[in-house]
Structure 1
Amino acid sequence: MNLEVVETAAGELYVDRAGGERGSKAPFYHVYADEAGETRWGYFCGNCETVNNAMDSMGRIECNECGNMRKPDEWDAAHE
């Protein structure tokens, strides 16, 4: 795994740009807390390049900076 180091307010994190999750503006890339890529930390927004995002219980990811959004894995109108 080839990970890119990024400096954040949370410290040094490692981004895997080889994969990721489709977003409305750009992909969300997986972020790891360690250089070996063994400890998942969260997601990195490919649109504005921040880790400032949130995931809800249905798996929806939304960037708090630019509004990039990944739809949930399963959607049910009852949850809206």
Structure 2
Amino acid sequence: MQPRTTEDGTTVYVSETDGDKGSEGPFLVAYESRDAGRRYGWFCTNCESFDNAMDSMGRIKCNRCGNFRKPTEWDAAHE
């Protein structure tokens, strides 16, 4: 895992293997500690940002570059 520093100065650890494909580049999981005991959030590899949002259906969108992961959950009521 690679240590990275967030905008507020917190050190988090980004997995090099745990993540999901995005439209512009992968989103990798970031953890609060090297032992991966607790997730911190997502790291956008396209712009190297932690400024991402996830909705209840599993969509991830980077607020900086627009990198996007499709939803992992589908609700048939919306089709």
Q: What TM-score do you get using the length of structure 1 for normalisation? A: 0.88
> How high is the sequence identity, in percent, across the aligned residues?
48
Distance in 2 separating the partners of 1:42 and 1:6: 12
Aligned equivalent of 2:56: 57
Q: For residues 6-21 of structure 1, what are the structure 2 equivalents within 5 Å?
A: 6-10=4-8, 11-21=10-20
Partner Cα separation in structure 1 for residue 60 and residue 16 of structure 2: 17
Runs of 4+ in 1 over 2 A off after TM superposition: 74-77
Q: How does 1:1-80 map to 2 (within 5 A)?
A: 3-10=1-8, 11-76=10-75, 78=78
TM-score, normalised with respect to structure 2:
0.89
Q: Give the count of matched residue pairs.
A: 77
State how far apart, in whole Å, the 2-side matches of 1:20 and 1:69 are.
13
Instruction: Give ranges in structure 2 of 5+ residues lacking alignment.
Output: none
What is the Cα-based RMSD across aligned positions, in Å?
1.5
Displacement after TM superposition at 1:19 (Å)? 2.5
Q: Measure the CA separation in 2 of the matches of 1:35 and 1:17.
A: 12
- Structure 1: 5+ residue runs without aligned partners? none
Deviates more, 1:61-70 or 1:31-40: 31-40
Which residue identity lines up with residue 78 of structure 1 in the other structure? Answer: H
